[in-house]
Amino acid sequence: MTSGSVKEICHCNNKLKFLRQYNRYYCNKCRTYPPTCSECHRDLFWVPQYSRYYCNACVNYRDPAKPVTPSKPEETVVSRAATRPLPSKIEKQSLKEIEDEFNKLKNNYQSGLIDKDRFKEKLQKMKFKDEHNRFWTLGAKSGGWYYHDGARWTEAKPPQTLERCTFPSNMSEQRSGAEAHPVGQSSGFCMTCGYPKKAEKLYCTKCGAKQK
């Protein structure tokens, strides 16, 4: 305590504790911070013999700026954490929603409401993947579905729900070639391992499971 200052006392006459991480004094008995000075907004200290608050920074008696809601120092940390933004929700869509969006986009292009560049720009954003991390896209002309097996695009029927995504860079250039150069056809996927199956095959060519 320096000259012109008073002891760090709470209104309850308990000695206040200085919390360096918050640069505030705190009363463990009242479980609250002291009121702040109406002039400099520093902590005020109670002077029992005069029943008044004193500001060591202003070196004078001051009235409290406003009542302080009782709280623990830990609560400040919790409240900050609670205000952090939550992770964005994964956008999943049904096949009907996706195909309706594609048909509307194609109709707008054919009717002249959007030009070719705008059509391609919108189509480039229609990229999806399924729960097995297979990448899917729609053919620009036919609206047929194609998936990428890691080396090539193959026409197939996708699952009923897909998640919007961004294609790897080595696939983006092949995007427009999905319909122009289809290199294979699939009649669906194995219900056991998810590998593409051929209509003429009774058993999965990867895991050997019998196909329905």
Q: From first to last of its 212 residues, what are the pLDDT tens digits of the chain?
A: 556 789 999 999 999 999 988 889 999 999 999 999 988 889 999 999 999 999 988 889 998 986 655 555 555 544 555 555 554 556 788 989 999 999 999 898 888 888 988 888 888 888 888 888 888 888 888 788 888 877 777 888 888 999 988 877 666 444 444 444 344 444 555 655 555 666 666 777 666 777 66
Tokens 């939550």 belong to 86
Task: Provide the angle, in degrees to the nearest 10, between the axes of the packed helices 116-124 and 95-110.
Answer: 170
Report which secondary-structure segment, H or E, holds 109: helix 95-110
Q: What is the pLDDT of residue 3?
A: 62
In a domain, 125, yes or no: yes
Domain count, the chain: 2
CA distance 11 to 43: 12
Structure tokens at 125: 């954003």
Has residue 198 been placed in a domain?
A: no
- Those residues whose C-beta lies under 8 Å from the C-beta of residue 175, and which sit 6 or more positions away, are 124, 127, 137, 167
Reported as a single tens digit per residue, the pLDDT across 3-28 is 678 999 999 999 999 998 888 999 99
Given 82, 106, 127, the domain boundary residue is 82
Q: What is the pLDDT, as a whole number, of residue 186?
A: 47
Structural domain of 144: 92-180
Q: pTM for this structure?
A: 0.43
